[in-house]
Chain A
Amino acid sequence: DAMVIQNPRYQVTQFGKPVTLSCSQTLNHNVMYWYQQKSSQAPKLLFHYYDKDFNNEADTPDNFQSRRPNTSFCFLDIRSPGLGDAAMYLCATSSTSGVSVTQYFGPGTRLTVL
């Protein structure tokens, strides 16, 4: 089945130690998104790629970076994780961007910062 895959499902890192989360998709979608979801809160969009074009949300901290080396893969890099960055990180894809487009989400990676 075509899907959005996130690895690992659980990631533990130390305060200040860089960490990378990965997302891959077999849907061949043009757009890939990264969301942050803290406990008992709604997902919050961090940024997205439309093909190779990177679109950052205005309030996304500089500590968060992303790479998309090809259509299938997208990475979320947290350069110096703080305790406040502990959250579920969700990757999503869509075929295009637009008001009627459906997003397909992966299962998420839960990040713990010690």
Chain B
Amino acid sequence: DAKTTQPNSMESNEEEPVHLPCNHSTISGTDYIHWYRQLPSQGPEYVIHGLTSNVNNRMASLAIAEDRKSSTLILHRATLRDAAVYYCILIRLGDMRFGAGTRLTVKP
């Protein structure tokens, strides 16, 4: 299985940008990079995904390194509701394997 490495935890101040890094040095050419987040007492929810190019949606931006061995999820203005565990996942052959994720704390 392709493996991802994320910091265990990060802190941010409210209304500031947050950059959540993910390393995936063993990524293969057909692996998609997905990000999900899990708010307290809820199931995971989809945030964003990409293959090679940077991606933007209403929730976040995904910046993918040129060699695809790392990526960064960008929350442009963190709110208290963004406090969650963020999972960076490589999807190969349709199977999703969660890593440990990054617990994001947002301070008011």
Q: How close is B104's CB to chain A, nearest CB, in angstroms?
A: 15
- Interface check B96, CB cutoff 8 A: yes
Counting chain A CB atoms within 10 Å of each CB, which of B31, B34, B42, B43 scores highest? Answer: B43
CB neighbours (8 Å) of A13 from chain B are none
Q: A42-B100, A90-B43, A105-B45 are in contact. List 12 more A-B contacts (CB 8 A).
A: A4-B43, A41-B100, A45-B97, A99-B32, A99-B91, A100-B91, A103-B36, A103-B46, A103-B96, A107-B42, A107-B43, A108-B43
- Cα–Cα, bound, A104→B99 (Å): 18
Size band of the A side of the interface?
A: 20 to 34
A contacts with B: majority SS: loop
**Do B96 and A45 touch across chains, with their CB atoms under 8 A apart?**
yes
Scan residues 63-94 of chain B and give those whose CB is less than 8 A from a CB of chain A: 87, 91-94
Q: Are B49 and A44 in contact (CB under 8 A)?
A: no
22-43 of chain B: CB within 8 A of chain A: 30-32, 34, 36, 41-43
Choose from A99, A106, A108 the contact partner of B92 (Cβ within 8 Å). A99
Which chain A residues numbered 17 to 50 have a C-beta less than 8 Å away from chain B? 41-45
B21 near A: Cβ within 8 Å? no
Contact B93 A43 (CB under 8 A): no
- Flag if A104 contacts B46 (CB, 8 Å): yes
Taking the closest CB of chain A, its distance from the CB of B101, in whole angstroms, is: 6
User: In the complex, which residue of chain A has the Cβ closest to the Cβ of B94?
Assistant: A97
Residues of B within 8 A of A (CB): 30-32, 34, 36, 41-46, 49, 51, 87, 91-101
> Do B98 and A42 have beta carbons less than 8 Å apart?
yes
CB-CB under 8 A from A69, the residues of chain B are none
Residue pair B98, A102 in contact (C-beta under 8 Å): no
Contact with B along A87-114 (1 / 0, CB 8 A): 0001010000111111111111000000
CA–CA, A105 to B39, complex, Å?
Answer: 12
Please name the residue on chain A nearest to B98 by beta carbon. Answer: A42
Contact between A100 and B96 (Cβ–Cβ < 8 Å)? no
Chain A residues closer than 8 Å to B94, beta-carbon distance: 97-99, 101
Contact A90 B44 (CB under 8 A): yes
